Structure 1
Amino acid sequence: MAEQWNYLMDMDGVLVHEEHPIPGSGEFVAELTANGIPFLVLTNNSIYTPRDLRARLSRTGLEVPESAIWTSALATARFLDSQRPGGSAFVIGEAGLTTALHEVGYVLTDRDPDYVVLGETRTYSFTAITKAIRLVEEGAKFIATNPDATGPSREGSLPATGSIAALIERATGREPYYVGKPNPLMMRSALRALGAHSENTLMIGDRMDTDVRAGLEAGLRTILVLTGISADSTAELYPYRPTRVLKSIADLVGNSGDPFPA
C-alpha cells in the first residue's frame, strides 16, 4: 500500500449536485485538509476561474482552497504554453478561460491567431462561431477545452463545448483537440500541479466515460460514486472497470488514508 494517497476528485456529482453539497462531501474535504492529504478538485467546466469556483463552493458549505481547484481552462492554458509559448488565440468562452490564457502570456485576438480556442459559455454567439469557422479555415489550429456535449441547467440541458465544437468541425472539416477529460492530459497536468505521481493517486468521479476512463488512461486507481449520473449497473456497460464503486464520497470519510482496504 502507498504511504500516502493523493486525491483527484470531480466536482459535479461527487462533491456537489445542482449547487447543493452531497452529504459527506464537506466532512471528506475537511478530513483531507486536517490530515495534510494533497488533493485537487477537477472540473471540465471552463466558465469560472478557481477563485470563482472556491466562492461558489464556499456558499454551499464546502471550503476548498483556490489552489486546490483545477479546471479544463487551466489545463488548456498549460497545454498551449507548452506547445507555443507566448502565442495568440481567438477565444470563445468566459473569464475562466480568458484569465487562464492571459496568465500564461497569451494574446487574445481575432486577427491571424495561432489557435481558435473553444470553451464553455452560456451565451454562444453565432457571430463568434462564424468567426471561429473562418479562422480555422484560414489555418488557425482548433482546440476545445472539453468534449462535453451538454451541460445542466434548472430548465434542462444546455448545448456545451462538445456540441459547438461539432458544429465548427462539420463546417471546416477540422477536428478539434480536446484537452479536458477523458483526455489523460488533463490528469497528467493535474498531477504536475499537485506534485504527485500516478502510483499513489486516485481519481474519484461519477462518470465512467470521462472520470474513470481518464483516470485509468493516466495510470491512476479509480473510484466511481453513484451520486451523479451513474447507477449500480453503469460500470457493467463499459469494457473497463473502476477500482472501486461506492454509493457516495461519504463512504470514504474516516478512510481517506486507506481507500482500498484489503
Structure 2
Amino acid sequence: MKAYKGYLLDLDGTVYRGNEVIPEAVHFIRALREEGIPYLYLTNNSSAPPEAVAKKLQAMGIEASPEEVYTSSMATAAYLAEKHPQGTRVHVIGEEGLHMALAQAGCTLTDQEADYVVVGIDRSFSYAKLAAAARAIRSGATLIATNRDPALPTENGLMPGNGALVAAVAAAGGTQPIVIGKPESIIVNYALKRLGTPKEETLIVGDNLMTDIAAGVNSGMDSLLVLTGYSSAADAAVSPWQPTYVADHLMAWYEKLAGGNR
C-alpha cells in the first residue's frame, strides 16, 4: 500500500446510495480535507450539473463545492469542444446536467438535422425520443453515450441505468456509440487534468468493477473497490478487471492505510 497524492471518487454506491449517504464516506472525505489531499468526484451520472451534485452532498453532511465534481456530461462536452468547432449540432437525450454542459461548450442543441446524437440518462425517455434519435443517426449523426452503466445503485436497490437507453438507441440506429464515461479512459484523462495529480500517484475509487475498476485498468491507474454498492467480493474474485485494493468501505481503506503508512 502507498499514500496517494490525489483521489478520483465515484459517487453512486461509493459515497451514497440514491438519497442515503454511506456514513463511512463522510468520515473519509473529512479526513482527506483535513490532510489537504486533493480529490475529485468522478461520476458517470449525467443528469445533474455540478452545482446540484455539490448541493446534494452538502445536504448529506459532506462539505463540497461544484469545482470538486466532474461528470460524464462535462467530459462529453469537453470531448466535443476538443474535437469539433463551436456550433456543432447535437440532438440530446438527457436531463439538465447534459443540456447545460453541452450548451456551455458551445454546442447547438437541436431536434432537427444533427451532427451528433448524445445519450445520457433520461427518466422521461419515450418511444418518440427513441424514434427521433434513430432518424438522426440514420441521417448521418454520430452516436455518443455519456456512459453505458446498465444499472444504478439506489436506496431501493438497482435501477435501470443509461446503458439500457444507449442499447435501445444503438439498436434502433444500427450503430455503436463512442463512449465517454467510465470505463473509458477519456473521462479519466480529463479528470486527471483538472485534478492536477499524475496518474501514477492518483487512486481511482468506486463500487463497480465494470466501470470504476475497469476505468483504472484502461487508464493505467491503481484502483480501490469498495463493497458498498454494485460489485461484491465474490464478483472481484472472478472479474477480468482486478482492483489494486479491496475494502469494505472508504473508511476501512483509510484506517488500513493509516495503520501501515501514516
Question: Could you state the TM-score of these two structures normalised by the residue count of structure 1?
Answer: 0.92
Moved over 6 A (4+): none
TM-superposed deviation, 1:172: 2.2
Q: What amino acid is aligned across from residue 230 of structure 1 in structure 2? A: S
* 2:145 corresponds to 1:148: no
- Counterpart of 1:123? 124
Q: What amino acid is aligned across from residue 56 of structure 1 in structure 2? A: K
TM-superposed deviation, 1:255: 6.8
TM-superposed deviation, 1:207: 1.1
1:39-74 deviations in Å (ceiling 9; x for gaps): 001111100011011111111111121111111111
Give the distance between the partners of 2:223 and 2:155, measured in 1 at CA. Answer: 30
Q: Which runs of 5+ in 2 are unaligned?
A: none
- Bigger proportion of residues as helix: 2
* Percent identity of equivalent pairs: 36
Q: What amino acid is aligned across from residue 78 of structure 2 in structure 1? A: R
Give the distance between the partners of 1:260 and 1:238, measured in 2 at CA. Answer: 27
Equivalent residues in 2 for 1:129-208, closer than 5 Å: 129-152=130-153, 157-208=158-209
Give the distance between the partners of 2:114 and 2:252, measured in 1 at CA. Answer: 48
* 2:234 corresponds to 1:237: no
- Counterpart of 1:250? 251
Q: What amino acid is aligned across from residue 29 of structure 2 in structure 1? A: V
Do the aligned residues in 1 keep the contact of 2:12 with 2:152 (CA within 8 Å)?
A: no
- Counterpart of 1:20? 20
Secondary structure at the aligned position of 1:233 is classed as helix
- Counterpart of 2:30? 30
* 2:60 corresponds to 1:43: no
1:67-94 deviations in Å (ceiling 9; x for gaps): 1111111111111111112112010111
- Counterpart of 2:68? 68
TM-superposed deviation, 1:24: 2.0
Q: What amino acid is aligned across from residue 235 of structure 1 in structure 2? A: A
1:90-132 deviations in Å (ceiling 9; x for gaps): 1011110010011111110122211111111111032122111
Do the aligned residues in 2 keep the contact of 1:89 with 1:114 (CA within 8 Å)?
A: yes
- Counterpart of 1:94? 95
Give the distance between the partners of 1:231 and 1:113, measured in 2 at CA. Answer: 41
Do the aligned residues in 2 keep the contact of 1:21 with 1:62 (CA within 8 Å)?
A: no
Give the distance between the partners of 2:256 and 2:144, measured in 1 at CA. Answer: 39
TM-superposed deviation, 1:2: 7.4
Residues 129 and 225 (structure 1), Cα distance of their counterparts in 2 relative to 1, 3 Å cut: same
Q: What amino acid is aligned across from residue 227 of structure 1 in structure 2? A: T
Residues 160 and 253 (structure 1), Cα distance of their counterparts in 2 relative to 1, 3 Å cut: closer
- Counterpart of 1:227? 228
Do the aligned residues in 2 keep the contact of 1:252 with 1:259 (CA within 8 Å)?
A: no
Bigger mean CA deviation after superposition, 230-239 or 78-87:
230-239
Q: What amino acid is aligned across from residue 49 of structure 1 in structure 2? A: P
Bigger mean CA deviation after superposition, 166-175 or 42-51:
166-175
TM-superposed deviation, 1:239: 2.6
1:141-165 deviations in Å (ceiling 9; x for gaps): 1111100123355666543321122
Give the distance between the partners of 1:228 and 1:32, measured in 2 at CA. Answer: 21
Give the CA RMSD over aligned residues. Answer: 2.2
- Counterpart of 2:81? 81
Q: Which runs of 5+ in 1 are unaligned?
A: none
TM-superposed deviation, 1:198: 0.7
Give the distance between the partners of 1:82 and 1:23, measured in 2 at CA. Answer: 38
